[in-house]
Amino acid sequence: MKLKFIGILFLIFSLCTAGYTQKFEELAQTPPMGWNSWNKFGCNVSEKLICEMADAMVNNGMLEAGYNYLVIDDCWQVRRDSVGNIVVDPERFPNGMKTVVDYVHKKGLKFGIYSCAGSATCQGRPGSRGYQFQDARTYAKWGVDYLKYDWCNEEGQNAKAAYKTMSDALKECGRPIVFSICEWGDSKPWEWGKGIGHLWRTTADIRDCYQCTFDWGGLGVLDIIDKQAALQQYAGPGHWNDPDMLEVGNGGMTYDEYKTHFTMWAMLAAPLMAGNDLRNMDAQTKEILTNADVIAVNQDKLGQQATKFMDMGEYEIWAKPLSNGEVAVCFMNRTNQIWKLDYDWKKQTMYFATEVSVHKKVYNVFDLWEHKNIGKTSERLVKEIPAHGVLVIRLSVVK
């Protein structure tokens, strides 16, 4: 009896300490999911907004769907005090940051914050250059769980060294903090980011459009997708390519384009950081962001990024191997017209993944947007894919 009691005490102790002792290297074993203020609200952040967003995430099913990091982007900070501590905007955060973090934690969410490796952030607020260890200790004191670290006003620093300094500071701050490298892919962070951070931006900022160009920087969804194909080998548990945050629900794309955006981010094992106003999502936005079948592809524990399996110019096929011998396959239509797909699995020459061969076994074809089986690989796959749309399926062996 006594032994059993000691055993239970030991178990409780182990469970309690597990959260605190989680090492930097053990974080983000699947792509981080959450919400970030930037895409919709820019500099317009406040205690009120963040607390309302926390409420919304719990009430509208986002947390349940897996979105557990709530991240404040730029503009929460205004200056440094006489000893160099970062000062929170007193008008927008009248009760300080710790109060906001505590509120977010009480809701069952994790809290993320933003800073910059340069002397100033992209919006001209104080950056962390020269204050990395001090800032990391402040974040730990507040209870921060995630840091997005930008690259404006970097003043000629070496990117790897600059990010390593903040990484070292986070590793020493006494709290597990996911480190999001936001260097826009300029110095190929996929080649040096593993072990320094858990995710790294691969491109300039996303714009809320399917395909568009900006002379002042920024890319639409299609151009971002094109840049990810070559980076497949760099992603894996704890270290992810980050094609930037989601624009789903912000109004710049059609329903089918947003489905493509979300599906491809899932296929690419990208972090899924919603960037819309979660307090008033319409039904389509909610349907997209909380699609459990698509999210399961993104969060699959194998952690593989999809490869561009076939490039037919205007049509593409991407494949993402999943655990349990399954594979997600995405047919992507880049054109303005319907793609009348008539796919004969028997004519396929390559394997989707080492273990997945449609010639050796028969697979069920499960449509991840219709949420039902739509056939088998022993039959042709005949389907209409809308303009700028996708068909995404999961193949699993017929038992």
Shorter beta-carbon distance to ligand GLA: residue 69 or 339: 69
Closest CA to 258 of 246, 270, 241: 246
If one asks whether residue 355 binds ligand GLA (CB under 6 A), the answer comes out as: no
- Catalytic: which of 55, 102, 168, 205? 205
If one asks whether residue 200 binds ligand GLA (CB under 6 A), the answer comes out as: no
Can 150 be counted among the known catalytic residues?
yes
If one asks whether residue 89 binds ligand GLA (CB under 6 A), the answer comes out as: no
The CA distance from 33 to 298, in Å, is 10
Shorter beta-carbon distance to ligand GLA: residue 145 or 150: 150
Asked whether 316 and 332 are in contact (CB, 8 A), the reply is yes
* Helix pair 96-106, 47-59: axis angle to 10 deg: 10
If one asks whether residue 205 binds ligand GLA (CB under 6 A), the answer comes out as: yes
Q: State the pairing for strand pair 178-181/146-150.
A: parallel
The CA distance from 5 to 210, in Å, is 60
Q: Please work out the total of residues on this chain that contact ligand GLA, with binding judged by CB under 6 A.
A: 9
Phi and psi at 109, nearest 5°, equal: -105, 165
For every residue of 291-337, DSSP letters joined together read -HHHHHHHT-TT-PPPEEEEE-SSEEEEEEE-STT-EEEEEEE-SSS
If one asks whether residue 247 binds ligand GLA (CB under 6 A), the answer comes out as: no
Q: How far is the CB of 244 from ligand GLA (least distance, A)?
A: 7
If one asks whether residue 385 binds ligand GLA (CB under 6 A), the answer comes out as: no
If one asks whether residue 117 binds ligand GLA (CB under 6 A), the answer comes out as: no
Closest CA to 98 of 68, 149, 141: 141
Shorter beta-carbon distance to ligand GLA: residue 122 or 356: 122
Please list, in sequence order, all residues whose beta carbon lies within 8 angstroms of the beta carbon of residue 24, skipping any fewer than 6 positions away.
167, 170, 171, 176, 177, 179
- Catalytic: which of 150, 208, 242, 300? 150
The CA distance from 297 to 291, in Å, is 10
If one asks whether residue 123 binds ligand GLA (CB under 6 A), the answer comes out as: yes
Which structure tokens are listed for 155? 């003043």
Give the nearest residue (CB) to ligand GLA: 122
If one asks whether residue 150 binds ligand GLA (CB under 6 A), the answer comes out as: yes
Q: Which stretch binds ligand GLA (CB under 6 A): 96-104, 119-127, 251-259, 333-341?
A: 119-127
Q: Which of 47, 73, 223, 247 binds ligand GLA (CB under 6 A)?
A: 73
Q: How far is the CB of 249 from ligand GLA (least distance, A)?
A: 17
Where along the sequence are the contacts to ligand GLA (CB under 6 A)? Answer: 38, 73-74, 121-123, 150, 182, 205
Catalytic residues: 150, 205
